[in-house]
Structure 1
C-alpha cells in the first residue's frame, strides 16, 4: 500500500524563470528616471569655466557646502537641497555654524566665469577666515570634440 507522501512518477523541477515582468518593471523605472533626472539639477544659474581636471570623490553622507557666485555678483550658499541668497558678511557666520554641526564637511565654490577674479579671491578669503582649510573649485569639463 502506498502512503500519502509517495509519488508515483518522477517529474523534473522546472528550470526556467519568466523574466518578462521583470523587464516591464525595469523599463517603467528607466522612463521614470529619464524624466526626473533633469529636474534634479536645480540651483543658481552659473556659467562655470571649462577646464580639464579630475573629478573629486564626495561621500553621499558628507554632502559639501556649496557657495555660488552668479554673474551679477550675488552670493548663494547651499547644503543638500537648501539654497539661499546671502551677503558676503553672512557667509562666514553660516559656514561656521554648518561646520560646527558637521565637522569635516567639504566646502566648494561655484563661480561664474564672468565674475571678476577679485570677487572669488575675496570669497575664498572669507571662507578661510571662517575656518575652512581647503576650498574646492567647481568647474565643467571642456566639450569633447569626439
Structure 2
C-alpha cells in the first residue's frame, strides 16, 4: 500500500506581473462615462431650428404670429406694429388665458427679434408658445 509521496511539491512562485484585468475594467467604465457625458458638454454652434418632425399641437384656440425676413410681425397675414400686437395679445389673453401662440419665424430672423415677440406674448399673459416648423426633407435623410 502506498500512501503517496513523502516529498512536498514546490508551491506556485509569487507573480511579479501586474494583473491587467482590473485596470481594463476601470478603463472601460471611464470610457462609457465619457461616451455618455461628452454630448452633454458640447455646445452646439450651428442650429437649424425650422426643421422638425414633431406634429403641431391641437390647442382649441390659438394666435398665429409670423415674423418675416425683415423682422416684421404679421398676425393672420395682417401687418402689426408693436402697439397693435400688444393690444391684440391682451385681448386674446382676456378672452382665453389658455390660448396658444403659434410662432412662425423665418430662418434668417435674428433670435433677439423672436425673443421680443415671445416677451410681448408672455407680458400679455399668454405662456403657451409653440414654434411652427416644417418637416425635414426625406430625400436628404
Q: Name which of 126, 133, 136 aligns with 1:139.
A: 133
Instruction: Write the distance in 2 (CA, Å) between the matches of 1:96 and 1:132.
Output: 9
Instruction: Write the distance in 1 (CA, Å) between the matches of 2:108 and 2:93.
Output: 29
Indicate conservation of the 8 Å contact 1:58/1:64, yes or no: no
Q: Name which of 46, 50, 72 aligns with 1:74.
A: 72
Indicate conservation of the 8 Å contact 2:102/2:130, yes or no: yes
Note the residue ranges of structure 2 that are not aligned, 5 or more in a row: 1-47
Q: Name which of 98, 101, 108 aligns with 1:104.
A: 98
- 2:10 matched to which residue of 1? none
Note the residue ranges of structure 1 that are not aligned, 5 or more in a row: 1-47
Indicate conservation of the 8 Å contact 1:69/1:75, yes or no: yes
State the TM-score, normalized to the length of structure 2: 0.58
Quick check: which has more Rg, 1 or 2?
Answer: 2
SS at match of 1:93: helix
